[in-house]
Amino acid sequence: MILNWIPCHRKQERSFQGSYTFPLCARCTAILLGYLFLPFLFMISSFIFWWYIPILMIPLLIDGYTQKWKWRESNNFLRFITGFLFGIAQTILIVKSVLFLIQILM
């Protein structure tokens, strides 16, 4: 299964539940969903700036590290939102990098 190649801790309490447990945690699921914005971001790339990347990544870093240091406990909703923003930030990085390389090579 392809999901076995994706690095994720797969802790059951951090996966969406109900009658079904996802094979990835809430944060990793949201990061992958953020990648789905790749085609849309290519279409509006002229309105996207490099400085969006750290702004969209900071919430995940704060959420992850404050939970790791046991300052507080996160929840799946917050993990999902911060993961989604992080996925979009990574997608912006990919889009901007590809467009930069195309500009250099042309």
- Asked whether residue 3 is assigned to any structural domain, the reply reads no
- Give the pLDDT confidence score for residue 30 in this predicted structure: 92
List the structure tokens of 93.
Answer: 């990085």
| Mean pLDDT value of segment 31-43 | 90
- Give the pLDDT confidence score for residue 13 in this predicted structure: 63
Task: Identify the band that residue 31 occupies on the pLDDT scale cut at 50, 70 and 90.
Answer: very high
Instruction: Using the predicted structure, report yes or no on whether residue 3 has a pLDDT greater than 70.
Output: no
- Give the pLDDT confidence score for residue 26 in this predicted structure: 84
Q: In terms of residue numbers, what domain contains 32? A: 23-105
Kindly report the pTM of this predicted structure: 0.83
- Asked whether residue 98 is assigned to any structural domain, the reply reads yes
What average pLDDT does the structure give for the chain?
Answer: 86
CA separation for the pair 12, 41 (Å, rounded):
32
- Asked whether residue 45 is assigned to any structural domain, the reply reads yes
